[in-house]
A and B are shown apart, each in its own frame.
Chain A
């Protein structure tokens, strides 16, 4: 249907419009939509644009759009679309004139772009977040805005082209967000958060893994190091054990020789020397064992023993060990134990000895050529609190007094010493700060005082540190390794004690330590401590007179004599001694006076002669029997050459010379000799015992050497044993195959064909076979002579006393060894083990 519809060009009401001028053509609007009814009868060709539009539409036969302009009435920007209507169908290739000819009318429509856009894009537009701009972009460089506000560039732009049907014109629609899209905080935060969390988690894992790896690494390293340390420790122990074994071996040889020496004819002093040497050797061996203990100390595995021991004997032996060194240097040494210290204490004698030996050794090392070394033992209780001290030595020790006239002090040798109480002033035990005061324990205070060079003040802090000496030149001058004190400190601490010292360079040093010991019974003593028991009582009740100008020294001598049960008086000079002796002539005290001991310091030949003649005179006066013994006179000296000694002895001035430090054994021997009692051979006693042990015993002797066999046979037959001899190991095997009637076997070690070790091994294996059979009941006991367990004592006869052989003997089943050639005492000891009286 043909409708003529035209839009208004100008924006004025119909009434206001002028009538159209005279023109060739007119294109008035005949029909219009109601909405645009105000353009009826307006000449469309009156507007320039419209005119162009119409003409073009007519010419092309297609729809044609104007460029945007303001529409009438609504004043919105819009475009007009014009179609030409032809009266006939024109071919597509018709020329414009033809078209013009055919035109009968026009069809037009106006697009009110704003309202169009708004209505179409209602949804979007209403949101007010999207800005729409419509442009006429026919002229690309100068786009005409048809709809939309000014652009705010918010970034995102969506361009879509509009096609109104006119190919000549282009339209575009730009859509953009009204506002710049806000930063998506949520998303950012969330993602940042997640990122951070992931990073953190990742970091944690990483750190954890790193740490685990590191720890594992460290652990592995530590394991390696630990293995190495353990290996080093083991190697060190092995080294120590091997080295000390090598030292032990020849030492045993030395000890064997000394033992043989002691069995020859010796007088009392020689015997004592030999015994001291023997004891020294034994001590050396135990020292070696202590070196091994060092390793234990370092690894903290050291434990203290708990055995009863005699303190006084121990101190005697320690001091005599070091006596030659101190005597050579001209230093006087002495030991004193307070009366209140019990006879027997329970503790670790070896360790106690170790500490004191170390301190005394240090004193000797650092004391040059004068003075003394004085070891004293008291109870801690003697020191605590009480103002009056009963013990004389302690009294004097606490108060250093100088005798102005002779410029000497009241010490052992007259030389000044450091105040001993300074060495224990910090001890908790003595200050009463020690909370646990166990009444069952005996607390001893041991002091070692010397008049040596002292310790430098700046070195005093470090002396208990191992391997550190006072200064670098110390080991050069004085020797030593610097471990002794640290070990001593450790041992003292194990004994629940404390160690301290006081020292002044040029005066001397005094070391003190305390220790807790248990109470012990005299009867529980080990036999080695009990040697003097039967002898001690023989001096009981005798009296002695000591002449010594130094009171501490006199006290020390008195202490030794009191141990033997001798009662003692002290005078300080020969003259006063003479007076004293004369005064007691008529009393019973004189009758008991058995000895006078004079110290070398007060020795004066004439005065001694005087004393002697005094005594002789008295004897004559009392008409006593000549045989009544006068008191024996002894000289006490420190360092005297044997020549001097024998001169004095032979001159008749003295009955004997006693060397200091005094030892109980020496005193006993000398007194016995002087007072006419001798020990006598103990051999006879042993012989009869040996005889009773071996009587009627059947003994097998195995040796390839004819002479040895004969000698062994003879020796054993003497004691009543029934002896069979065989030459070879094989024969021994046959003879000792159970059942047999032998009680013991002496087996030579070195034999051709089968040596002693091999023979013993085979004998033992044969025996164990039989024992097993008997135990399991496979064979009856009657078949084997009613003996349920076969083990014949086999003693090795060997020419060398070396430890290695002994251990080898034990390993292959031997029970003991005796040395060749046969020695009675050895035989007795070895055989006694197996044939206790009563078997």
Chain B
């Protein structure tokens, strides 16, 4: 695939991420922060997010399975999680987190568990998509230099 074709494809992928609601404007802000001084800023942040959030997910799962359910701890973790995901512009993940927090505030353990499943799902989907996106970017960068 030639350079322009690749660029086109990448642009399409990116466009679709926004159009399908996976990412929001915050991601654009991150992209704007990327420049020659910070060439891989966005990727760095996303990787950081996934490392951090995996840890959080483990913690949340532990807390969810233990009885009696410690809602305040859950709320704290979810606050962190939501904060991180909104910082990178992960739109769907963030909104699912908001739903979780509502159920948590209402003290509904069942609904929390269900909601958390959604969160994990979205989290995983986005990860795949972003990984693919960065892969393509990497390939395009290589193609450019050659």
Contacts and interface: CB of A to CB of B under 8 A. Distances in A.
Given A707-B52, A821-B26, A714 B45 contact: yes
A710 B83 contact: no
Nearest to B51: A706
Nearest to A687: B32
B87 interface: yes
B41 A714 contact: yes
B49 to A, nearest CB: 5
- The secondary-structure label for the interface of chain B is helix
A714 B52 CA distance: 18
Given A714-B45, A715-B33, A821-B29, A705 B76 contact: no
Interface in A257-305: 260, 264
B88 to A, nearest CB: 6
B84 A705 contact: yes
B86 A799 contact: yes
Q: Which interface class (under 10, 10 to 19, 20 to 34, 35 or more) fits A?
A: 20 to 34
A110 interface: no
Interface string A367-404: 00000000000000000000000000000000000000
Interface in B28-86: 29-30, 32-33, 35, 37-38, 41, 44-45, 48-49, 52, 76, 79-80, 82-84, 86
B79 A822 contact: no
A707 B87 contact: yes
Contacts of A264: 25
Contact of A820 (B30, B41, B49, B86): B86
Nearest to A714: B33
B96 to A, nearest CB: 16
Contacts of A696: none
B127 to A, nearest CB: 14
A708 B81 CA distance: 10
Contacts of B86: 799, 820-821
Nearest to A799: B83
B84 A708 contact: yes
A711 B88 contact: yes
A718 interface: yes
Given A705-B87, A799-B86, A820-B87, A711 B80 contact: no
A338 to B, nearest CB: 47
A752 interface: yes
A707 B87 CA distance: 7
A569 interface: no
Contacts of A714: 30, 33, 38, 41, 45
Contacts of A772: none
Contacts of B44: 710
Contact of A710 (B45, B79, B82): B45
Contacts, number: 60
Given A717-B38, A718-B33, A711 B83 contact: no
A760 B24 CA distance: 32
B89 A821 contact: yes
Contacts of A704: 80
A752 B80 CA distance: 10
Contacts of B49: 707
A419 interface: no
Contact of B84 (A707, A718, A750): A707
Interface string B1-39: 000000000000000000000000110011011010110
B133 to A, nearest CB: 18
A715 B38 CA distance: 11
Given A705-B83, A705-B87, A711 B52 contact: no
Contacts of A820: 83, 86-87
A705 B26 contact: no
A708 B87 contact: yes
Q: Which interface class (under 10, 10 to 19, 20 to 34, 35 or more) fits B?
A: 20 to 34
A823 interface: yes
Nearest to A823: B29
Nearest to B34: A714
Contacts of A706: 48, 52, 84
Contacts of A343: none
Nearest to B79: A750
A348 interface: no
Contacts of B89: 821
Contact of A821 (B35, B37, B52, B87): B87
Nearest to A264: B25
A118 interface: no
Contact of B35 (A710, A718, A824): A718
Contacts of A715: 29, 33
B4 to A, nearest CB: 25
Nearest to B55: A706
Given A717-B38, A821-B87, A710 B29 contact: no
Contact of A752 (B26, B38, B76, B82): B76
B92 to A, nearest CB: 16
Q: Which of A260, A706, A752 has the most CB of B within 10 A?
A: A706
B38 A711 contact: no
Nearest to B49: A707
A707 B50 CA distance: 9
A821 B82 CA distance: 11
A10 to B, nearest CB: 150
Contacts of A717: 37-38
Given A718-B35, A820-B83, A821-B86, A707 B29 contact: no
Contacts of B35: 718
Nearest to B56: A705
A817 to B, nearest CB: 15
A710 B48 contact: yes
A522 B48 CA distance: 55
Contacts of A824: 29, 32
A704 B84 CA distance: 10
Contact of B87 (A711, A750, A752): A711
Contacts of A718: 33, 35, 37-38
A752 B38 CA distance: 31
A707 B38 contact: no
A820 B87 CA distance: 7
Nearest to B86: A821
A792 B88 CA distance: 29
B98 to A, nearest CB: 10
A705 B80 contact: yes
A83 to B, nearest CB: 144
Interface in A516-556: none
A772 to B, nearest CB: 37
A422 B3 CA distance: 79
A710 B46 CA distance: 10
A822 B84 CA distance: 12
Interface string B89-109: 100000000000000000000
A823 B30 CA distance: 10
A707 B33 contact: no
Contacts of A708: 83-84, 87
Contact of A711 (B30, B37, B79): B30
Interface string A696-723: 0000000011111011001101100000
14 contacts: A260-B25, A704-B80, A706-B52, A707-B48, A707-B49, A708-B83, A711-B33, A711-B87, A711-B88, A718-B38, A799-B82, A821-B26, A821-B86, A823-B29
The 4 closest A-B pairs by CB, nearest first: A707-B84, A714-B33, A821-B26, A711-B87
Given A711-B45, A799-B82, 5 more contacts: A705-B52, A707-B52, A711-B33, A717-B38, A718-B35
